Amino acid sequence: MVHLLPGRLLASVVAAIAVVAAIPDPSSYGDQDLWVYTAQWLPQVCNEKSVRDSAVCKHLSKSQFQTTHFVAENLVPTYTDGSAQFGMCRYEYGTFLPSNIVAGGGANTLKQYWPYLNPAAKWGHLWDGEIGGTSTPQYNWTCGGMHQADYLRNVTALTTGITPSFVSQHIGETVETAAVRAAFKATHNVDVVLRCDDSTKLARVLVCLDKAKPSATSSDPTYEPTTAIPCPNAIQSHDSCSGHEVSIVGVGGRSFVSV
């Protein structure tokens, strides 16, 4: 005998099935198409409302490196449609642990190359690895194919070589956008994506990177970023430096934006 569900219960079951069907499958380990590394120009980014009161921005003038070089904002495992990989594939999800911070280069190195702009972060505690604290970033990409320490080492290595000398030589000046693009292409051998505040103030650069392809028999496969590659259209569409010229803002070049 077939037992029919009451109308209200049947409707609830159908609705639940529809919701589940609408949720995409979680990412599989290392299944991203590429990595997208985003670097930020702090003299401009620190003008943005969301971070201008952060400890890093308040101390920016004291850092010779951060006022003359791009620094890391994030490194995200990404699909060609522009969406970020998600899911929890490893127990390492959450705050970067102190042991991994040390193995990844140490707090002092990370404070320089990947400054944490959380306004709640405390200057004397940046990258302290405190669980539940406010001064260390979260590791959100456990399906990307890297352990915490490996991820940190890759972020530092990418940041070390991101800034063309052309940019450092023209701080506080307005230059042709094409010249900035050419400088990055000469450095990385591919076109990068430039992001500008108000379309004219250089704020960020995005570099797309291929991923390692480990042996199928590896017991601990690594899918870390390798060489720079052309960005897919979905990433290129985020380029916002549309003017003929861009400004490379120096410290004190205040031009507050409400981002």
Domain ranges of the chain: 34-163+203-238
Query: What digits encode the pLDDT tens for the residues 33-51?
Result: 999 999 999 999 999 999 9
Name the more confident of 255 and 170. 170
* Summary mean pLDDT of the chain: 88
Name the more confident of 164 and 26. 164
| Token pair for 83 | 């969406």
pLDDT level of residue 253 (50, 70, 90 thresholds): low
Distance (Å, whole) CA 10 – CA 4: 9
Polymer length in residues for the chain = 259
Instruction: Confirm if 68 and 172 have CB atoms less than 8 A apart.
Output: no
What percent of the chain has a predicted confidence (pLDDT) above 70? Answer: 86
Distance (Å, whole) CA 188 – CA 205: 12
Neighbours of 9 (CB within 10 A): 10
Backbone angles phi, psi at 128, to 5 degrees: -85, -10
24: closest CA among 76, 79, 75? 79
What's the CATH code, domain 34-163+203-238? 3.90.730
Residue listed under structure tokens 């194919």: 145
Cα dihedral sign for 88, 125, 250, 163? negative
Distance (Å, whole) CA 52 – CA 119: 8
> Beta strand pairing status for 138-139 and 34-40?
unpaired
Given a cut of 60, whether residue 79 has pLDDT beyond it is yes
134: closest CA among 79, 198, 55, 226? 55
Give pLDDT, residue 19. 31
Given a cut of 50, whether residue 256 has pLDDT beyond it is no
Given a cut of 50, whether residue 17 has pLDDT beyond it is no
Query: What digits encode the pLDDT tens for the residues 207-224?
Result: 999 999 987 777 889 999
Give pLDDT, residue 26. 54
Query: What digits encode the pLDDT tens for the residues 234-247?
Result: 999 999 999 999 99
